[in-house]
Amino acid sequence: MASSEDALPTYGLYIDGGEVPSASGAHFPTDDPYTNQPWARIARGNADDVNRAVAAAQRAFESGPWPRMTATQRGQLLRKLGDLLALHAPRLGEIERRDNGKLAIEVTPQIRYLADYVHYYAGLADKVQSEVIPSDKQGVFAYTKHEAKGVVAIITPWNSPLALTTWKLAPALAAGCTVVVKPSEYTSASMVEFAKLFAEAGFPSGVVNVVTGFGQEVGEPLVTHPQVAHVGFTGGEGSGRKIYELAARDFKTVTLELGGKSPNIVFDDADLDQAVKGVIAGIFAASGQTCIAGSRLLVQAGIHDAFVQRLVEFMSTARMGDPALPDTQIAPIATRPQFEKILSYIEIAKGEGAHCALGGKPWLAPSGGLFVEPTIFTGVHNRMRIAQEEVFGPVLAVIPFVDVEDAIAIANDVPYGLAAGVWTRDLRRVMVMTDRLKAGTVWVNNYRSTSFTSPFGGYKRSGVGRESGTEAIREYLHTKCVWISSDLEVANPFGRR
C-alpha cells in the first residue's frame, strides 16, 4: 500500500537541461513550517548525481553553443530569464513560502525584485572592461583579458533560497561560467522550479544544474570535485569553514557569505520613532532568520529605558500566524533544528543573567507550526554568549553605551563584521562611525537595504569576497595578461628583458 508521502508533489534533480530522478531513486520529505507537516518530496542526490551534474556543466563550458556566445548574447539570455522570473514570481513565491514559512508579503516581492537583479547582470555581461597596460619595456604591447573560471558550485541556505542563489548565479552566468547548485535540503523545491526557466529562456543544456540532497552526500562531493573551479556559499560559519578548508586542498577560489552579530546603534539625538521601526525591521522581520539581522541593539544610556519601552510596546502587538495572510507580521521558524537552537539561546541568556523584557518562549500555533515569540533581552553585556554568538532568530540583545568611543568599542568587539546600523542626526558622528565600524555594510538611518548595484559581504568571520554590484562578476573571472612583441629580433635569451 502506498504511503501518504507518495501522494505529495515530487521534485527531481535538474541535470543537463531537464528534470531527472536521483541515481538512487530515493526521496526525502520537506516540511511546511506553518503546519509542521510534509508538503512535498525531494530527490535525494548523492556523489553519482554530483558527477553527472558537474560533467554536464563541464561539457557545456567547453563545447556547444555556450562558450561560442559573445558576452552580449549571454546578456540577452539573462534578460529573457529575468522576464520569466518576474512572470513566475507569484508561483515561485508560493513554493518558497510553503518550504520555509516566509511571509507572502515579503517573499513574492523579493523574488520579483530578483528579476531586476538578473537584468542588471544581463547589462553588465558585456561591460567587463580589459585594459591596455602602459609598459616600461620597449617593443612590447601588454593588455589584460578576463576569462570565465569554469564550473561554479553554488551552495545556499534555507532562509532566502532563490535570492541567495541568484546573487551568485547571475554574475557567474554573466561571466560565462556554468553552475551546479546545491540548495538547502530544507528548501529545495523552489530552486528546481526555477531551474526549469533556464531552458525556457534558451540557455543551452548543462549550463545550469541542480542537485538536491544533504551536505555529506552532495555538498562535500561537489566542493571537492576536481572539475569545480569556484565555490560560492552562503550559510553558517561552521559549514563555511569546512567548505573553505575543502576548497583549499585544490586551491579553488571561494566566495563565502557567513554569519553576523550586527549592531544597530541608536544615539540620543536620533529620530526615535524612525529608529524604533528600523530596529524592528533589523531583527524581527523574517523572524530574525537573516544573516544581516541587527541582533545587538546598542542604545545610548540616556534614552535606554524609554527606547526599550517603545520597542516592547510596539512588538507586544505583533501578529503571529499564517504566513500566507497579508496581515501576519511574524512568520514561523523555518526548521525544527533552528527552532530548538533559538529556544536554547533564550535559556542561555536567562542563565547568564539577562532580563527578558518581552517574549522568551515558543508560541503555540493552532496549526502546529514552529513559532518563537519576539524576544527582547535587557541587562546584556558584550561578553555574554547572547551578545557574541549568532542566534538567527527573533531575539534582540540590548546593550547600553555611553558615547561614540564606547559604541565603537562594543560594536566591533565580536568575531563578525557583516553589517551595522547607525541612527543619528549628527553628520560628524555619521562620518566617524562609518569610518571606524568594522563591517562590510553600514546603514545610516535605515536598515536592511540591499541592491543589485551595491557590493555586499563581510569582515572577519562574516566571509570572504563580495556579492552584488560590479565587484561580484570579477569573483567568477580570471585575469590574464597578454604580452605581444613588435621587435623583429628576440633579445639576448640569457638576460632578463
Catalytic residues, by residue number, are 257, 291
Count the Cβ atoms, other than its own, within 10 Å of residue 61.
Answer: 23
- Residue 183 in contact with residue 131, Cβ under 8 Å? no
With 0-12 / 13-18 / 19 or more C-beta atoms within 10 angstroms meaning exposed / middle / buried, residue 113 is middle
Distance CA(439)–CA(427), nearest Å, equals 19
> How far does the chain reach from its first CA to its final CA, in angstroms?
79
Count the Cβ atoms, other than its own, within 10 Å of residue 476.
Answer: 25
Cell of 450: 540591499
- How far are the Cα atoms of 14, 45, 61, 200, 422 from residue 212, in angstroms, in the given order? 9, 6, 22, 21, 40
Cell of 256: 563565502
Q: How far is CA 371 from the centre of its chain?
A: 23
With 0-12 / 13-18 / 19 or more C-beta atoms within 10 angstroms meaning exposed / middle / buried, residue 1 is exposed
| Alpha-helix residue ranges (DSSP H) falling in 352-397 | 385-388
Q: At residue 274, what is the residue type?
A: Q
- Residue 204 in contact with residue 8, Cβ under 8 Å? no
Count the Cβ atoms, other than its own, within 10 Å of residue 274.
Answer: 12
Question: What are the counts of helices (DSSP H) followed by strands (DSSP E) for the chain?
Answer: 15, 25
Count the Cβ atoms, other than its own, within 10 Å of residue 291.
Answer: 25
Distance CA(401)–CA(75), nearest Å, equals 49
Q: Please give the torsion angle defined by the CA atoms of residues 118, 121, 125 and 131, in that order, rounded to the nearest 10 degrees.
A: -170
- Residue 206 in contact with residue 179, Cβ under 8 Å? no
- How far are the Cα atoms of 73, 86, 468 from residue 114, in angstroms, in the given order? 20, 8, 12
Q: Please give the torsion angle defined by the CA atoms of residues 483, 485, 489 and 492, in that order, rounded to the nearest 10 degrees.
A: -30
Residue 445's contacts (CB-CB under 8 Å, 6 or more residues apart) are 270, 271, 274, 278, 422, 423, 424
- How far are the Cα atoms of 131, 210, 220, 234, 478 from residue 482, in angstroms, in the given order? 11, 36, 36, 35, 13
